[in-house]
Amino acid sequence: MAFFIQLRSSNHVRLDGDTPDPRTGWGMPSYRDLGLSAPERQAVVALLQRLGGRRPGVDDRVHLTLTDSSLAEVHLRGLYGAGPCVNGHLAAEAVSMPLLHVAVELARAGRLILTPDGFPRPLVIDEPLRQSLSTRYPQVQSGYSAAMIWNLLRPRDLDPPAGEGESTE
């Protein structure tokens, strides 16, 4: 797989005390990731089933066939286990609108933070979540739809795929 979108749970708590920044030595807030809540985990599992996800083995990887017939893999470590499900990835051969639609649906279902390859800032799909994460991730940016994320990722000389440019999904 050549294109990855990192997925991270947005649920965290701030810990008492600060951790020294390795570059400056200044105190930085410390956080502990909680992972997906039970309803978020159930919503993500239900979404993957609805999208026709197939589990090829006993780990947490799920294979999807996208609407353009390309293949994608979702791997959220701990999704099907008893432990926390904190992070993972969505991978495919190349970035495409169907892949971004799946990423947005996953982000909505699990309140996930998206970090696509080649994009310097984490993305969230709603403004209240962006505001709640702005202290931990000061550069977090909102991308409310697959079309908006496409416009952030694509080279400026490419047009969006036909019929996909104005979607607000």
Greatest alpha-carbon pair distance for the chain in Å reads: 51
Instruction: Give the model confidence (pLDDT) of 126-139 as tens digits.
Output: 888 888 887 777 78
pTM over 0.85: no
Res. 162 pLDDT band, cuts 50 70 90: low
CB distance 65 to 30 below 8 Å: no
- Distance from C-alpha of 103 to C-alpha of 37, rounded to nearest angstrom: 19
- Distance from C-alpha of 118 to C-alpha of 105, rounded to nearest angstrom: 21
CB distance 1 to 93 below 8 Å: yes
DSSP β-bridge partners for residue 87: 8
CATH topology of domain 3-153: TATA-Binding Protein (3.30.310)
Tell me if residue 26 falls in helix, strand or coil: coil
Break the chain into its structural domains and give their ranges.
3-153
Instruction: Give the model confidence (pLDDT) of 47-85 as tens digits.
Output: 999 999 999 888 899 999 999 999 999 999 999 988 899
